[in-house]
């Protein structure tokens, strides 16, 4: 089926497609663009029903990601409906409801086969291509490469908002924070940074059996959200004494078993290395734009392990089951809702998340 036939079946041909287009640092617009169509046999085209904005999109607009070229449609998270399929696609059909994750996987290269599609070689060595190397999901329609090994069908009985955040932040918090951090039953877990990804780590820490989860942030509003997401204790680090307070929450006073960094600045990474106990793990999720000092003179003798990583999305099917069963409340992340045509207003709200007490915006067709 051609993209023109598939798309026309879902809207009148005289209504041009609109998308959020990047025009260089600080410049974006909601404008008319060409309809996408399958370019390769494994492609599909998806009507975007629900999408959102990521902090990475804001970094792009600041000029922090120079690989994103002007003219690129932004966005890498969506729930949608299949409207066209390539000739090699047999496991998906028109009208299937799917989530489109941030990470694309060819399913065949060495990295995909070892469960690391974040480094898919067929997509240039990085799985994050939507809104980066190809046009993304902040649009009425999007082309999805390697569809059968990348998208996931949405089960009946769940809403778009419940599964939308499986596209990025929920697997990021779990895979890069909880799983890389080797959280085990009975652990004390400290999450520094109660933004959306930190909250995802807080919400999923219990999956690995964490006994106590402590959220640390400088904003009381974020700490209030942390309680809703399952934090047992919250600490505002602006008041100081964080190390002593965390030590007091452990039976032996030695600190956290796992410290998860979910901000991406030198100060918060350094704090994680100070609150973790000997033999513990510091799991870095935050995207760092500046170098940080690594105090190996202290860390080596304490047997501290430091992990980093990119989300792969390999846990999405498992997390989807937990969302469907109610064990994970994925819809909690969405605090503000907009129509797709109000994309610019959604950006304004998300860019000033602190003033608006926003976590993630939900943008619906």
Mean pLDDT of 156-174: 97
- Using the 3D structure, point to which of 307, 333, 350 is the last residue of a domain: 307
* Amino acid 9: pLDDT: 44
Q: Are residues 274 and 323 in the same domain?
A: no
* Amino acid 97: pLDDT: 98
Q: Are residues 152 and 236 in the same domain?
A: no
Q: In what order do the strands lie in the sheet with 212-217?
A: 233-236, 212-217, 188-192, 256-261, 276-284, 305-307
Q: Are residues 163 and 190 in the same domain?
A: no
Q: Are residues 152 and 176 in the same domain?
A: no
* 176-201-301 Cα angle (round to 5): 60
Task: Count the domains in the chain.
Answer: 2
Which single residue is written with the structure tokens 């993209």?
3
Q: Are residues 262 and 335 in the same domain?
A: no
- Using the 3D structure, point to which of 288, 307, 326 is the last residue of a domain: 307
Q: Are residues 42 and 131 in the same domain?
A: yes
Domain, as residue range, for 141: 3-168+313-364
Distances (CA, A) of 284 to 17, 125, 245, 267: 39, 21, 21, 13
Q: Are residues 150 and 246 in the same domain?
A: no
- State the alpha helices, DSSP H only, in 9-65: 55-61
Q: Are residues 137 and 202 in the same domain?
A: no
Mean pLDDT of 55-68: 94
Q: Are residues 257 and 318 in the same domain?
A: no
Q: Are residues 235 and 302 in the same domain?
A: yes
Instruction: Write the CATH number for 258.
Output: 3.40.50.720
Q: Are residues 177 and 44 in the same domain?
A: no
Instruction: Write the CATH number for 139.
Output: 3.90.180.10
pLDDT band at 13 (very low <50, low <70, confident <90, very high): low
Query: Reduced to 3 states, what is the DSSP secondary structure of residue 140?
Result: coil
Which single residue is written with the structure tokens 């109610």?
326
Residue 212 has pLDDT above 60, yes or no: yes
Mean pLDDT of 227-238: 96
Identify which of 132, 120, 123 has the alpha carbon closest to the alpha carbon of residue 65.
132
Residue 76 has pLDDT above 50, yes or no: yes
Q: d(Cα 194, Cα 344) in Å, to the nearest integer?
A: 25
Q: Are residues 214 and 115 in the same domain?
A: no
pLDDT in tens, 286-315: 988 889 999 999 999 999 999 999 999 999
* Amino acid 156: pLDDT: 93
């Amino acid at each position: 089926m051609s993209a023109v036939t598939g798309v026309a079946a879902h809207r009148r041909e005289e209504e041009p497609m609109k998308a959020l287009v990047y025009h260089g640092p600080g410049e974006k617009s909601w404008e008319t663009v060409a309809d996408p169509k399958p370019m390769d046999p494994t492609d599909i085209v998806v009507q975007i029903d629900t999408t959102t904005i990521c902090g990475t999109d804001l970094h792009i607009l600041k000029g922090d990601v120079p690989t994103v070229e002007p003219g690129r449609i932004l966005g890498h998270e969506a729930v949608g409906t299949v409207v066209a399929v390539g000739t090699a696609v047999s496991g998906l059909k028109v009208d299937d409801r799917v989530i489109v994750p941030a990470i694309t996987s060819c399913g065949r290269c060495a990295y995909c086969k070892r469960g690391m599609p974040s480094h898919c070689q067929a997509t240039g060595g990085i799985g994050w291509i939507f809104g980066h190397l190809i046009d993304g999901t902040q649009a009425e329609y999007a082309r999805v490469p390697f569809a059968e090994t990348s998208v996931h069908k949405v089960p009946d009985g769940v809403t778009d908002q419940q599964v939308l955040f499986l596209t990025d932040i929920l697997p990021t918090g779990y895979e890069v924070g909880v799983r890389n951090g080797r959280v085990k039953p009975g652990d004390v877990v400290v999450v520094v940074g109660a933004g959306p990804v930190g909250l995802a780590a807080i919400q999923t820490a219990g999956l690995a059996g964490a006994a106590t989860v402590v959220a640390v942030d400088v904003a009381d509003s974020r700490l209030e959200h942390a309680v809703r997401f399952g934090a047992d204790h919250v600490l505002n680090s602006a008041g100081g004494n964080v190390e002593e307070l965390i030590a007091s929450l452990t039976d032996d006073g030695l600190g956290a078993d796992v410290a998860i960094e979910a901000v991406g600045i030198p100060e918060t990474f350094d704090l994680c290395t100070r609150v973790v106990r000997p033999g513990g793990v510091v799991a870095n999720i935050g995207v760092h734009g500046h170098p940080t000092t690594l105090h190996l003179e202290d860390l080596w003798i304490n047997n501290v392990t430091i992990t980093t990583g990119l989300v792969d999305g390999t846990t999405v099917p498992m997390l989807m089951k937990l969302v469907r069963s109610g064990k994970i409340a994925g819809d909690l992340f969405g605090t503000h809702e907009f129509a797709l045509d109000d994309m610019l207003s959604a950006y304004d709200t998300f860019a000033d998340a602190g003033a608006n007490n926003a976590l993630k915006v939900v943008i619906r067709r």
